[in-house]
Structure 1
């Protein structure tokens, strides 16, 4: 682990690949630590000639947390955390990969700091400041499960693991049977890295400081959209809206994939990101 300071926030980071190769920073979604980027994914990208950095958002993992309900930051502050990570690694520019809320953050960075974003890959994301016809969002089943958190005993590990595994199951697509054992292992790994797991749900209370209405259409850096056709949290229409309204953007639709990064899709995702970023192991263009 490498720890980087952004004001009062200490950010836990981890790097894969060779320093000096083109840099790629992975920005995960709401309530998720760096572990939500599978080891197999970041390691494979590192082997394709990218210097890959993943990190824990504030209120997750080994990054600074505040008590549940005490978040005093907004989404734009989380975007500043990404810049702090880049600065900590001495990166003038990086390819940015964002998933879900991480894609929202990535769009902010591409708009406000285009000189620092070499390219933007948006996985299972929604358009920043959407102002068109309403887009479908989180399923009723997921919301019902999420609301059950009010009765969750955070001191009872097995109950917390069951709750997190349930979130994984409700996020999964139809392309393969759900692996409950793997979901439980992921949940226990997350629990082992934080003293305040409930704090990650502070992300559900966050707002934005600025008015981003319609702004995503102004993004001028290269954009790749990767989206699961079965996504029950941010349905595929969200990815299609991004790709349809950003000039030059391309979408890759993953059949049978939900709001997830399943093993069966990792090879395709690695290939698409490596091709899009021009990862060849050659000259570094991100410094």
Structure 2
């Protein structure tokens, strides 16, 4: 279906749906700094073909959603959580199965805590606990860096610290994003650089202002739920690659332990995100979990 810009509470968000609106709804939440294109269309259609109504959307400051001045986002992480509920409201969906990847998985967890009535089940991919085990945040610790879990790999840290990009040069931005995608792939499988380059170029050229996505790097958390992850009561599936360089596998294991009844699916040698080689496996897992 065609893209649709929705407006709820004065916020414009670009969405796209696949499948029959009469089927059980599945809301896809992408990670920060990434538009909905990273939920690749083939994956969306696989899930829709299994009898689900699939919705993907651009976060603020990505793709064709509302864009703010770089360095001045004017919103918080809590607002991005509320945006997921806004997308459901605009599509007249009371509650959906929610699938989040990377930081989108953290947003999905917080959605299940703050808007429990909007979430039928969770699938959390390549992510980490959004809150510490006791649900309380020390004042000096952001929620995406739990103190008891391993840091990113050395290769990931080297790339993040050494990478240089000229944000005014489209080609420089594309080269940086392709290289970043290569690092996230984890290094244990062949990396399809050509396919990544096509996707990145489309993402950059489609955005209102691709540089605005940097606002996600300076977001404050906003209102953090007071309830711990152990209070999440919906069926939860955690999917994690064994070669994830951003959130090593222990993050997925810890998340599974902290949410009652959660199950863990490990993707051997997979990196961060939904690799093309795992697309059918992940789609089948989502369909099974949401049946």
> Shared fold by TM > 0.5?
yes
Q: Which residue of 2 aligns with 1:261?
A: 274
Q: Which residue of 2 aligns with 1:7?
A: 9
Q: Which residue of 2 aligns with 1:68?
A: 70
Q: Is the 8 A contact 1:67 1:196 kept in 2?
A: no
Question: C-alpha separation between the residues in 1 aligned to 2:207 and 2:10?
Answer: 18
The answer to whether residue 97 in structure 2 is matched with residue 77 in structure 1 is no
Q: Which residue of 2 aligns with 1:229?
A: 242
- Name the SS of the counterpart of 1:102 in structure 2: helix
Question: C-alpha separation between the residues in 1 aligned to 2:289 and 2:182?
Answer: 30
Question: C-alpha separation between the residues in 1 aligned to 2:43 and 2:155?
Answer: 29
State the Cα deviation string for residues 248-283 of structure 1 (Å, max 9, x = none). 1000000010102111101110111100000xxxxx
The answer to whether residue 51 in structure 2 is matched with residue 38 in structure 1 is no
Question: C-alpha separation between the residues in 2 aligned to 1:6 and 1:144?
Answer: 41
Alignment of 1:32-181 (within 5 A): 32-131=34-133, 134-148=148-162, 151-181=164-194
Shift of 1:214: 6.9
State the Cα deviation string for residues 202-247 of structure 1 (Å, max 9, x = none). 1111221234477112111111000111000111111100101211
Question: C-alpha separation between the residues in 2 aligned to 1:200 and 1:207?
Answer: 15
Q: RMSD of the alignment, in Å?
A: 1.6
Q: Is the 8 A contact 2:79 2:222 kept in 1?
A: no
Q: Is the 8 A contact 2:77 2:221 kept in 1?
A: yes
Q: Is the 8 A contact 1:75 1:208 kept in 2?
A: yes
Q: Alignment partner for residue 209 of structure 1, among 222, 236, 245?
A: 222
Q: Which residue of 1 aligns with 2:287?
A: 274
- Name the SS of the counterpart of 2:206 in structure 1: coil
Question: C-alpha separation between the residues in 1 aligned to 2:231 and 2:104?
Answer: 18
State the Cα deviation string for residues 133-181 of structure 1 (Å, max 9, x = none). 52123334334433456x5222222211110001101100344211111
- Of stretches 51-60 and 128-137 in structure 1, the one that deviates more from structure 2 is 128-137
- Structure 1 runs (4+) greater than 6 angstroms displaced: none
Shift of 1:73: 1.1
Greater relative contact order structure (CA < 8 Å, 6+ sep): 1
Unaligned runs of 5+ in 1: 279-287
Question: C-alpha separation between the residues in 1 aligned to 2:102 and 2:67?
Answer: 21
- Count of matched residue pairs: 277
- Name the SS of the counterpart of 1:192 in structure 2: helix
- Name the SS of the counterpart of 2:200 in structure 1: helix
Question: Relative to structure 1, is the Cα distance of residues 202 and 140 closer, same or farther in structure 2, using a 3 angstrom cutoff?
Answer: farther
Q: Is the 8 A contact 2:129 2:254 kept in 1?
A: yes
Unaligned runs of 5+ in 2: 134-145
TM-score after normalising by structure 1: 0.92
